[in-house]
Amino acid sequence: MSMSKMTKTLLLLTLLVISIAPFASTVKAEKPVIYAVLFYSPTCPHCEQVINEVLPPLVEKYGLQLQIFAVNTYEERGNSLYQVTVEEFEIPNDRLGVPTLIVGDYVLVGGGEIPARLPGIIEEGLAQGGIDWPAIPGLEEARNAPAESTTPKTEQTVKDKFKQDIAGNSLSVVVLLGMIASIITLGINFDKRPKYNQPQWIIPVLAIIGLGIASYMSFVEATQTEAVCGPIGHCNEVQQSSYATLFGFLPVGYLGMIGCVAILFTWVLQNYGPNKWRRLMSTTLCGLALFGTLFSIYLTFLEPFVIGASCMWCLSSAVIMTLLLWLSANNAKHAWRKNDLQEA
């Protein structure tokens, strides 16, 4: 997110709360009011969309009957309030992340669920006489406290981020070390004679599975729905981070789809294309898998040490890409050794 967009986001959120404060008691006495708490992060693209596109029309429509207290989870106090909210509302692991909007007993998560359900909740709440502030311990103190600096907190260490998702992040480290060890081992042994022949169908099967995972994650990103995540890891928190897109517009899942399709196409040429292409295609396939594994190393490193959350879909994709590297490297060895023997 650019600094100008971040500034716009923070100013808007501030106005949503501060501009209505002097009139709160008067409005509450005359008309029903909907009170809500929005947890957001200035680095979250879905938060930006909710703040800049979803909330302004609702604020304009309902005026002082809709009061939203914005909580920046990238600040120490905001993050603490969010953790308390998670415990109080028993939000499951697969629904952790921002943007999260609490309205009464409703917990709305993500850039898809908030615009889909919030208008209906507002209408229903107004018809029933309003909805009071959510029962979040410490909320009243937070609303009355002076605003913190909008500068993102810098005191959160790598250790703090890792502890946010110990089980998932520990698994990420295991996968990360495995990928690094695989590349080192293959590099050392690449010029050695291949020890085995593998069935040719394994590579396309793995590539198709990888394509399915990448397609699902692309669907989650494109539709802004919540990802189905297992008991370990916080998939949605990873998907809602700024690292889920490249160059600010290309979802990582799309790149994964392109990579898997390229691997499948190269495998077909390697096995069924002209003979003069097969050696080149073997090398190309290995190169594609190597690039995919290196990129997976980068993404896997970000999860435990930068984002502070891990995604099991992403880790599964990383493991598949590493397996493809092993298999394609073995095929490349066979192709080059066979060609060398023929030339000799």
The predicted model gives 118-147 an average pLDDT of 89
| Whole-number average pLDDT of the chain | 81
Q: Mind listing the pLDDT tens digit for each residue in 15-48?
A: 444 344 444 444 444 689 999 999 988 777 778 8
The predicted model gives 231-259 an average pLDDT of 80
Provide the token pair at 29.
């006495």
What was the pLDDT predicted at 344? 41
Q: Mind listing the pLDDT tens digit for each residue in 156-210?
A: 577 777 877 788 889 999 999 999 999 999 888 877 766 656 777 899 999 999 9
What was the pLDDT predicted at 7? 47
Query: To the nearest 10°, the Cα dihedral for 128, 132, 135, 136?
Result: 140
Residues of the chain above pLDDT 70, percent? 83
Alpha-carbon distance of 332 to 47, in angstroms, equals 45
The predicted model gives 255-269 an average pLDDT of 94
Q: Which of 120-129, 145-154, 218-227 has the highest mean pLDDT?
A: 120-129
> Which residue ranges make up each domain of the chain?
3-144, 158-343
The larger pLDDT score, comparing residue 336 to residue 341, is at 336
Task: Name the residue among 327, 101, 110, 32 with its Cα closest to residue 203.
Answer: 327
The predicted model gives 257-280 an average pLDDT of 90
Assess whether pLDDT exceeds 80 at residue 126: yes
Assess whether pLDDT exceeds 50 at residue 150: no
145 confidence band (pLDDT: 50, 70, 90): confident
337 confidence band (pLDDT: 50, 70, 90): low
Query: Which residue reads 């080059």 in tokens?
Result: 336
Q: Please give the order of strands across the beta sheet that includes 100-103.
A: 66-72, 34-40, 100-103, 106-109
5 confidence band (pLDDT: 50, 70, 90): low
What was the pLDDT predicted at 172? 93
CA 132 to chain centre: 32
- CA 227-233-236 angle, to 5 degrees, is 30
What was the pLDDT predicted at 322? 95
What region does 146 belong to: left with phi over 0, alpha with psi -120 to 50, or beta? beta
* Fold topology of 3-144: Glutaredoxin (3.40.30)
Assess whether pLDDT exceeds 60 at residue 90: yes
3-state class (DSSP) for residue 35: strand
What was the pLDDT predicted at 124? 94
The predicted model gives 220-247 an average pLDDT of 76
Residue-wise DSSP of 274-342: -HHHHHHHHHHHHHHHHHHHHHHHHHHHHIIIIIS---HHHHHHHHHHHHHHHHHHHHHHHHHHHHHHH
Alpha-carbon distance of 164 to 306, in angstroms, equals 11
Model confidence pTM above 0.85 = no
What was the pLDDT predicted at 24? 44
The larger pLDDT score, comparing residue 315 to residue 26, is at 315
The predicted model gives 309-319 an average pLDDT of 91
The larger pLDDT score, comparing residue 101 to residue 165, is at 101
What was the pLDDT predicted at 154? 41
Alpha-carbon distance of 235 to 229, in angstroms, equals 6
Indicate the range of 139-153, 165-179, 213-227 predicted with least confidence: 139-153
Class of domain 158-343: mainly alpha
Residues of the chain above pLDDT 90, percent? 41
Cis peptide before 99 (omega within 30 of 0): yes
What was the pLDDT predicted at 8? 53
Alpha-carbon distance of 52 to 46, in angstroms, equals 10
What was the pLDDT predicted at 245? 78
